[in-house]
Amino acid sequence: MGYRVVVAGATGNVGREMVNILAEREFPADEIAVLASSRSTGDEIEYGDTGRMLKVRNIEHFDPEGWDIALFAIGSEATKVYAPKFAAAGCTVIDNSSLYRMDPDVPLIVPEVNADAIDGYRAKNIIANPNCSTAQMVVALKPLHDAATIKRVVVATYQSVSGAGKVGMDELFEQSRNIFVGDPAEAKKFTKQIAFNVIPHIDSFLDDGSTKEEWKMVVETKKILDPKIKVTATCVRVPVFVGHSEALNIEFENEISAEDAKRILREAPGVLLIDKHEDGGYVTPIESAGEDATFVSRVREDPTVENGLSLWCVSDNLRKGAALNAVQIAELLGRRHLQKAG
């Protein structure tokens, strides 16, 4: 007997990817319900490349009683309304919004990094998916932390417009087209023109001058990996459709060479090391799109600090940064706790 699975927000970028990945990975689901707001009710979504069509239902009228797992990609405001209802009905919520990430009663999970933390999910019957930029970073950091204990991380992100949803992708496309034909490139979703530009501003500003996106990377890394790690982040939106990139500078308590790090990363779950000292011997966002791995390149020692390394990290933010991680959490939940399939 398999699971009864809900995907809420199934018509958005992340929700559609969740549906595709459930099909790709042959998740043991006997039944799939795809939910969205009233304006999408009645639309149809294909279940991966299976030819099976799923009719979109209205989340407002959906009864979660008897369903096992709900993957949420509906934003914090809607999650605040619906997640407690689903959880109270016995349907475990795996939430992609930021609402529950720092709740001490809600596990924040990246399966390759802190799988054991999922055991605390019963407190609220909710599990949180981390921020997209945090997820790929901690996958790369975890094996290195285990080997040499990370003291401090300095990260600069290069985040694609898909992180801002379909409206972000549409704005990059429209601005690029307008510039080529000589029309104005008006900023709507973003604070400045994104086409042929970079914007050092993601999410709202906080009192200390950092942004909420930068704050998320700091606090989520501490919760997932180790509260003693010091993290500072600068998050930048770049004119790339899919795939987040990160330049990481890492300081360790113990000695670790670049060769040691490469050997460790080659064996690390979820990581694919591609690091050749030649033209093109590294991964860029275009190669990461549609892939499950967190790619690491440009691993080198930093001679300006004791026990320092620098590296380049790239991943498909719609997959490992969101949808894939949520499905991996569902698989982990099934193996460790629900055990209905297999």
Q: What is the pLDDT of residues 286-316, one digit of tens each?
A: 999 999 999 999 999 999 999 999 999 999 9
**Does 125 carry a binding-site annotation?**
no
Give the pLDDT score at 341: 65
Give the pLDDT score at 1: 77
Say if residue 246 is exposed, middle or buried (CB neighbours under 10 Å; 0-12, 13-18, 19+).
Answer: buried
Note the CATH number of domain 3-129+322-338.
3.40.50.720
**Does 28 carry a binding-site annotation?**
no
In angstroms, rounded to a whole number, what is the distance separating the alpha carbons of residues 176 and 180?
Answer: 6
Give the pLDDT score at 340: 78
**Does 197 carry a binding-site annotation?**
no
In angstroms, rounded to a whole number, what is the distance separating the alpha carbons of residues 234 and 246?
Answer: 10
The secondary element (H helix, E strand) that includes residue 205 is: none
Active site residue 91: no
Give pTM, 2 decimals: 0.96
Choosing from 132, 145, 235, 313, which is the catalytic residue?
132
**Does 159 carry a binding-site annotation?**
yes
Choosing from 91, 145, 235, 244, which is the catalytic residue?
244
**Does 39 carry a binding-site annotation?**
yes
In angstroms, rounded to a whole number, what is the distance separating the alpha carbons of residues 106 and 101?
Answer: 7
In angstroms, rounded to a whole number, what is the distance separating the alpha carbons of residues 128 and 329?
Answer: 9
Helix ranges (H only) for 106-204 are: 111-114, 132-148, 166-181
Note the CATH number of domain 133-160+198-315.
3.30.360.10
Mean pLDDT by 10 residues, the chain (342 residues): 95 96 96 94 94 96 98 97 98 98 98 98 98 98 98 98 96 98 96 98 98 98 98 98 98 98 98 98 97 98 98 97 97 93 60
Residue recorded with tokens 């990481």: 248
Give the pLDDT score at 339: 84
Ranges for all domains in the chain classified under CATH 3.40.50.720? 3-129+322-338
**Does 15 carry a binding-site annotation?**
no
**Does 162 carry a binding-site annotation?**
yes
Summarised one tens digit per residue, pLDDT across range 152-179 is 999 999 999 999 999 999 999 999 999 9
- Kindly calculate the radius of gyration of the chain based on its CA atoms and give it in whole angstroms: 20
**153 touches 248 (CB < 8 A):** yes
**Does 288 carry a binding-site annotation?**
no
Ranges for all domains in the chain classified under CATH 3.30.360.10? 133-160+198-315
**Does 12 carry a binding-site annotation?**
yes
